[in-house]
Amino acid sequence: MNLHPKVRPLWQRVLILPALAALLCYKALRLPRSILPRALRSIVTHWDYSMFWVLIRSGITRAYIDQPCEFKLPPSHEPKVLVEPDHQLSTGQIKQFCEDGFIGPFDAFSRTEMADFRQELLAVESTTSQTYGFVTPRDRHLEMPRLWSYLSSPAITDRVAQLLGPDLLCWRSQIFYKGPHAPAIQFHQASTFMVEDYLDPAIFPPNRDEIFQLTVWVAVDDATPENGCLQFVRGSHERMCTIKFGGEDGFYNANFSLEFDRDPDRIATVPVQAGQFLIFAERCIHGSPPNSTDRHRLAFNMRVIPTNVPVYTDKEKYRSVYNGGKYYLNNWGVTVLRGEDRYQLSRTVDIERRHAELPCAQPRRLAA
Ligand SMILES: O=C(O)CCC(=O)C(=O)O
Ligand SMILES: [Fe+2]
């Protein structure tokens, strides 16, 4: 079954509806899953009842494209770890983060460092990934010591640890090159990243109603409203929204619009200077407007989880609806970003060793 979100012709919907109803019954009756083909087994296992219901009730015109969840405000806004004074978040800042779903910008790197790094990032962006074997902006930290040294710098990890806890893993990174006059990245949100292939979640948090994953987004160029800095819908991390197939909006290759209240008063436009970073919950609705300038806007991000969250578990590959291509996971692994991985729940890459094994490895450290 092709799960790509799109408006389907009526005849297809008429055929798919009873199949969905049958799968829903199969799930409700707890019939054996092992006899199902792989794709159907994933759907029965990972789709919530509400995911089936929205599709069926709407005649396959609306859907949840990621696992639904609701964020419960935590009882305390105390930081989860103690860090050096320069990186400390106040309880007021943490409360604001819990209410808004994003926080920053914070200073991390100098303008000169970012200007110098820009060339390296741009050069790598168009080369074949050593992890996946094709050109992709994903997970270049596994082959770029300098990218990893930025991502793992205490200016970033100390801030994230106060929100997520002391022991942290990076499970994914991405370079975001927004070319001159590039279109908007539409408002979107993700919970467990089932949105990637609609079959299996990427991450398996013990409790989906907590914040179990944060995104760190670092600006290499100044990001402004004109060249497409990030925008957030304040407080929208409280629940996942449904999407409506079709319409004018799109998200990379997919064509749908997220159903949420577009009240302009809730939309925060957040300029970020080169070398600064933001932290946000990926389920906080966010996007970036078109780049209306003649220059690119470069940034990189990473997705961070606590060590009690498994990633991909036994998955061999996934097919990204958004970034194209089949991502074989044999060279992929989580990397320890901070603290210790006591749980060892996912395939892990020893990043120091991986970097040392690179052809023409040049270990590189940030200046203290
Ligand atoms: O850089 C952008 O414009 C989008 C970034 C984004 O969606 C993300 O980091 O999750
Ligand atoms: Fe995003």
Same domain, 39 and 159: no
Distance CA 112, CA 289 (A): 26
Substitution site in 177, 217, 232, 252 for ligand 1 pocket (most atoms within 8 Å of beta carbon)? 217
Three-class SS state of 158: helix
**Among 63, 84, 102, which residue terminates a domain?**
63
Distance between CA 65 and CA 252 in Å, rounded?
15
Q: Ligand 1 centre from 301 Cα, in Å?
A: 8
Last residue of a domain, one of 42, 63, 84: 63
Same domain as 151, residue 27 = no
pLDDT tens digits, the chain, 368 residues: what are they?
Answer: 445 556 778 888 888 999 999 999 999 999 999 999 999 999 999 999 999 999 999 999 999 989 999 998 888 999 999 999 999 999 999 999 999 999 999 999 999 999 999 999 999 988 999 999 999 999 999 999 999 999 999 999 999 999 999 999 999 999 999 999 999 999 999 999 988 888 899 999 999 999 999 999 999 999 999 999 999 999 999 999 999 987 666 665 567 889 999 999 999 999 999 999 999 999 999 999 999 999 999 999 999 999 999 999 988 988 887 666 789 999 999 999 999 999 999 999 999 999 999 876 544 444 43
Q: Report whether 72 contacts 209 (CB < 8 A).
A: yes
Domain count, the chain: 2
Give the integer Cα–Cα distance in Å for 300 and 176.
5
User: 165: domain range?
Assistant: 65-356
pLDDT of residue 256: 80
Ligand 1 contacts CB of residue 217 (under 6 A):
yes
pLDDT, position 359 = 77
Cβ of residue 215 lying under 6 Å from some atom of ligand 1: yes
- On whether both 82 and 9 belong to a single domain, the answer is no
With a 6 Å cutoff on the Cβ, whether 301 touches ligand 1 is yes
> Which of 63, 91, 110 is the C-terminal boundary of a domain?
63
Q: Report if residue 279 sits inside a domain.
A: yes
CA–centroid distance, 46 to ligand 2, in Å, is 22
Give 321 Cα–ligand 2 centroid separation in angstroms: 14
Determine the pLDDT at residue 363. 44
In ligand 1, which atom is closest to the CA atom of 301?
9
Give the ligand 1 atom nearest the CA of 188: 7
Q: Is 3 inside a domain boundary?
A: yes
**Tokens coding 339:** 């603290």
Are residue 17 and residue 83 in the same domain, yes or no? no
59/171 same-domain check: no
Report the CATH number at residue 131.
Answer: 2.60.120.620
- 220 shares a domain with 72: yes
Do 119 and 215 fall within a single domain? Answer: yes
* 144 and 275 within one domain: yes
Position 365 in a domain: no
CA of 334 to the centre of ligand 1 (A): 20
Measured from the CB, is residue 175 less than 6 Å from ligand 1?
A: no
Q: Given this model, what pLDDT does residue 367 score?
A: 41
Reading the block at residue 256, the tokens are 């749908």
Ligand 2 center to 218 CA (angstroms): 13
pLDDT of residue 146: 97
Query: Within this chain, do residues 143 and 72 fall inside the same structural domain, yes or no?
Result: yes
Residue 16 in domain:
yes
227 plus 89 within the same structural domain: yes
Ligand 1 close to Cβ of residue 190 (< 6 A): no
Would you say residue 294 lies in a domain? yes
The tokens describing 337, both together, are 């970003």
367 within domain boundaries: no
Starting from the CA of residue 303, give the closest ligand. 1
For residues 223 and 82, state if they share a domain: yes
Are 37 and 114 found together in one domain? no
What's the confidence (pLDDT) of residue 187?
A: 93
Task: Say which ligand is closest to the CA of 174.
Answer: 1
Identify whether 72 is part of a domain.
yes
